[in-house]
Amino acid sequence: METRRNNSAIETVIKESRVFSPPATFVEKANINDPAKYQTIWEDSQKNPVHFWESQAELIDWSKKWTQAFQWNEPFPKWFLEGKLNVAQNCLDRHLEKKKNKIAYIWEGEDGVVKKLTFQELYEEVCQLSNALESKLGLKAGDSASIYMPLIPEAIIAMLACARIGVAHSIVFAGFSSHSLRDRIQDADCKIVFTSDVGYRRGQVLELNKTVREAVSDCKTVKNVLVFKRNRHTDLQSNELDWREFVNDQPKTHKAQPFDSEHPLFYLYTSGTTGKPKGIVHSSGGYLVGVATTAKWIFDLKETDIFWCTADIGWITGHSYVVYGLLANGITSVIYEGAPMHPHAGRIWEIIDKHNVTTLYTAPTAIRAFMRAGDQHVEKYSLKSLRLLGSVGEPINPEAWMWYYQMIGKAKCPIVDTWWQTETGSILISPIPGITPLKPGSATKPFPGIVADIVNEEGKSLGPNEGGYLVIRHPWPSMLRTIHKNPERYKESYWSKFKGLYFTGDGAHKDENGYFWIKGRVDDVINVSGHRLGTMEIESALVSHPRVAEAAVVGRPDELKGQGIVAFVTPRDSGETLDVKSLAQELKNHVANEIGSLARPDEIKFTKTLPKTRSGKIMRRLLKDLAAGKEISGDTTTLENPSLVELIEN
């Protein structure tokens, strides 16, 4: 498979210069604040990453201690071999002795209703559900379960109950369509789906169980659907179980059985360069060591923290830094169901003041939207509880970084710009907030134990300010283990471009201080508001419409969302009668129905033909330039159709 190159992402780049030392008031209290000591740890970890990770494995409870830290059957890693642990026990039971009355989650609904759950309460709910799943449905290690839920505590309870009984969960973001849900359920052979009758967002009611019904009608493996009823009058069908009734007669304790370190904790589907999303498989031991360590070091965790990661649990950020990494450290988190700007543009700041949030971890798209909404929405709130800010999911532009730093952090909170992926499981490149001088727009340096590099097309290390491909030179504990049911695709996607190096799919450069600047994807994946979408996935959705002959989808720069989606479509009926506007609308809705509204194209351009090379490949570089409104650049001599792209407009 050819990886198409995004030239702009791998060009030689200009130096960026502004540097912000970590604020003194923060450094004073930071857990890690001795630069010389940290530098030694970091340098040692670059020479011997396995040794670093061995020392961090102490952070978690092993029911049976591992005997060997790492084994590499290239490209398949194993970490903490022969070790046994229970991930849910690490997140809950082991905290009960000291902090059973500590709040684990503060949940807030869009309408302002608040529900708090202590570690003890969360433990009891997880135990009841685990008991019911085992005794009533016979679920056991090796099975898998799909979770299609809004961001409510029950979604996390479902994750932890699965983890507790060794069932791999596959969470599907509740904005995905029934088709997407069905495909993911089928691929993972899920036996059960957890859902709720409805979710709420932007004042709208989302009929989640309706989507689940459409999806499971085509899924032979699904025996039951467990529905958390938020509206007591919701009717259930024969294969649907009422969550409260299902658990209420169950014991509030449950003896957790230990599982092998390599036991799959979850599958998470993400977009790749082909039409079909890939089921990323994550382990138990290595994953937990990775997320617990990075959460502790990068977020400078303190017992008194109120941590708010705004991601939904449908994404990897939610898995690692709403749930596993934070709970493993026994930290209180805020979760919010709803849109951060609803019902007013200051909602997020209101919640921070209301719950005294200390750490906010969000995406650049959100920061840009808050910035655009205007400072008056921020000024109403003190934000005095904040001590640390984080960014994730896409490159943060320096303007948004400065606004976040000054307007939200009042120049006293460091910003950790964290680079990572669904596949990496935990953060790989990030500042350490009490140590690393910050440069707006740079994720700074690799985390200890992560050996990152920039290489050229031949896999050769590049020097300062030379643009190339971001690769990881040594396996790390929380990395994906494979692609579910598709080890060949795993090899092909990550290990075939450069021998022995993990290929991230991102273009980047390092500056003269060894800081990494991530530019974005160099493959056919686009990043819309921090969400990853495969262009071919959207193309497949478009060509499934009867009026579409051919389609090519590209990303174009978008001030707010990072990238927007532009589709070039050749209609089957391109005659005089074609109503371009109404067909465009119909196709946008079609994509939203097929994949989910997050994949809805921003613009559809109709063309008589698509520009192709003589060998029949669509010239995406040219379409990208066209979509971005640029002059057509570069070599077009291999074009089959010299008239380039003839747009149909009316």
Query: Whole-angstrom Cα distance, residue 409 to residue 388?
Result: 7
Strands across the sheet containing 224-228: 240-242, 224-228, 192-196, 144-148, 168-171, 266-270, 278-282, 482-483
Distance in Å, CB of 343 to ligand PRX, minimum: 27
> CB-wise, 95 or 481, nearer to ligand PRX?
481
Binding region for ligand PRX (CB under 6 A) out of 10-18, 32-40, 500-508, 544-552: 500-508
Distance in Å, CB of 608 to ligand PRX, minimum: 34
Distance in Å, CB of 530 to ligand PRX, minimum: 6
- 């589709």: which residue's tokens? 567
Encoded amino acid at 649, one letter: E
Question: What's the start-to-end Cα distance of the chain, in Å?
Answer: 38
Query: Whole-angstrom Cα distance, residue 395 to residue 418?
Result: 9
Among positions 387, 521, 545, 561, the unique one binding ligand PRX when judged by CB under 6 A: 521
Query: Whole-angstrom Cα distance, residue 404 to residue 391?
Result: 10
Q: What are the C-alpha distances in Å from 483 to residues 158, 170, 314, 581?
A: 23, 13, 18, 40
576: Cβ–Cβ under 8 A, 6 or more apart, which residues?
Answer: none
Distance in Å, CB of 521 to ligand PRX, minimum: 5
Distance in Å, CB of 549 to ligand PRX, minimum: 31
Q: Determine, following the binding rule CB under 6 A, whether residue 563 of this chain makes contact with ligand PRX.
A: no
Among positions 49, 393, 449, 467, the unique one binding ligand PRX when judged by CB under 6 A: 393
Q: Determine, following the binding rule CB under 6 A, whether residue 419 of this chain makes contact with ligand PRX.
A: yes
Residue 576, number of CB atoms within 10 A of its CB: 6
> CB-wise, 77 or 395, nearer to ligand PRX?
395
- 């909404």: which residue's tokens? 373
Among positions 225, 518, 526, 553, the unique one binding ligand PRX when judged by CB under 6 A: 518
Distance in Å, CB of 130 to ligand PRX, minimum: 29
- Output the residue with the shortest Cβ distance to ligand PRX: 422
CB 567 within 8 A of CB 542: yes
Query: Whole-angstrom Cα distance, residue 398 to residue 404?
Result: 10
Q: Determine, following the binding rule CB under 6 A, whether residue 270 of this chain makes contact with ligand PRX.
A: yes
For residue 356, give the 3-state DSSP assignment: coil
Query: Whole-angstrom Cα distance, residue 346 to residue 83?
Result: 47
Distance in Å, CB of 392 to ligand PRX, minimum: 5
Rule CB under 6 A: which of 303-332 touch ligand PRX?
Answer: 316-317
Query: x/- binding map, residues 421-460, to ligand PRX, per CB under 6 A?
Result: xx--------------------x-----------------
Encoded amino acid at 112, one letter: G
Query: Whole-angstrom Cα distance, residue 99 to residue 303?
Result: 10
Q: Determine, following the binding rule CB under 6 A, whether residue 392 of this chain makes contact with ligand PRX.
A: yes
Binding region for ligand PRX (CB under 6 A) out of 96-104, 218-226, 329-337, 413-421: 413-421
For residue 379, give the 3-state DSSP assignment: helix
615: Cβ–Cβ under 8 A, 6 or more apart, which residues?
Answer: none
> CB-wise, 79 or 494, nearer to ligand PRX?
494
Q: Determine, following the binding rule CB under 6 A, whether residue 527 of this chain makes contact with ligand PRX.
A: yes
Q: Determine, following the binding rule CB under 6 A, whether residue 395 of this chain makes contact with ligand PRX.
A: yes
Q: Determine, following the binding rule CB under 6 A, whether residue 389 of this chain makes contact with ligand PRX.
A: no
Q: How far is CA 413 from the centre of its chain?
A: 24
- 């190339």: which residue's tokens? 468
Among positions 125, 260, 312, 417, the unique one binding ligand PRX when judged by CB under 6 A: 417
> CB-wise, 145 or 392, nearer to ligand PRX?
392
Query: Whole-angstrom Cα distance, residue 466 to residue 519?
Result: 12
> CB-wise, 250 or 535, nearer to ligand PRX?
535
Q: Which tokens is 567 given?
A: 């589709």
Tell me the number of residues near ligand PRX by CB under 6 A.
22
Binding region for ligand PRX (CB under 6 A) out of 138-146, 323-331, 374-382, 498-506: 498-506
Chain residues in the site for ligand PRX (CB under 6 A): 270, 316-317, 392-395, 417-422, 443, 504-506, 518, 520-521, 527, 532
